[in-house]
Amino acid sequence: MKRFLALFVAVSVMLVVGIAFAGTAKDNTGCGLGTMLWKESSSADGSTVSQSLQATTNGTFGNQTFGITSGTSDCKQPAKFVENKKLQEFVSSNLDTIAKEIAIGRGETLDAMAELMEISAPQRADFYAKLQTGFDKIFTSEKVEYAAVVDSIAAAYSQI
């Protein structure tokens, strides 16, 4: 009888805590297939078990990235996504020229890239100087991928 009472109290506490934190599950696990699948499966949406199932499913299927980029799976596409896509296409198409212009610290292609990144004219000199001094970190090898270059350029911009 004591075991039954202890089990009853433990389950009751878990349900009360789960209900008290209902609605925080998405804050913890984010959007994605797992969040959508498991949020309705239990009355205790905020329970550790439910959130673990959500996170595990999201991580196993890797669908949060797809959801974020496509705006599906209860995710919202970032407002800057279109601009990022344009920037990636631009860098991909002009990678060699960008490398040359970063090395010398100026150029029309860099100006166009700064325009795509919405960097104001007064900030561009600092931005170009940051890129020039960080050239080795941006172009880590001859076979560097453009996506890595974009990430490094964005990181350099965040430091000015």
Q: Per the structure block, which two tokens stand in for 32?
A: 């994605």
Element containing residue 120 per DSSP (H, E): none
Helix, coil or strand: residue 30: coil
What average pLDDT values come out for the chain (160 residues) when binned by 10 residues?
A: 63 48 62 78 64 83 73 70 78 95 96 92 95 95 89 86
| pLDDT given at position 132 | 97
| pLDDT given at position 9 | 58
| pLDDT given at position 86 | 86
150's CB contacts (< 8 A; 6+ apart) are 84, 87, 88, 91
| pLDDT given at position 67 | 73
| pLDDT given at position 10 | 58
**Cα–Cα dist 73/63, whole Å:** 8
- Supply the DSSP symbol for 76: -
Asked if 131 contacts 149 with a C-beta cutoff of 8 angstroms, the reply is no
| pLDDT given at position 94 | 96
| pLDDT given at position 32 | 82
Give me the torsion for CA of 59, 63, 65, 67, rounded to 10°: -140
**Cα–Cα dist 129/64, whole Å:** 36
| pLDDT given at position 20 | 44
Q: Per the structure block, which two tokens stand in for 140?
A: 């880590």
| pLDDT given at position 41 | 60
* For the chain, the helix, strand and coil percentages under 3-state DSSP, each to the nearest 5: 70, 0, 30
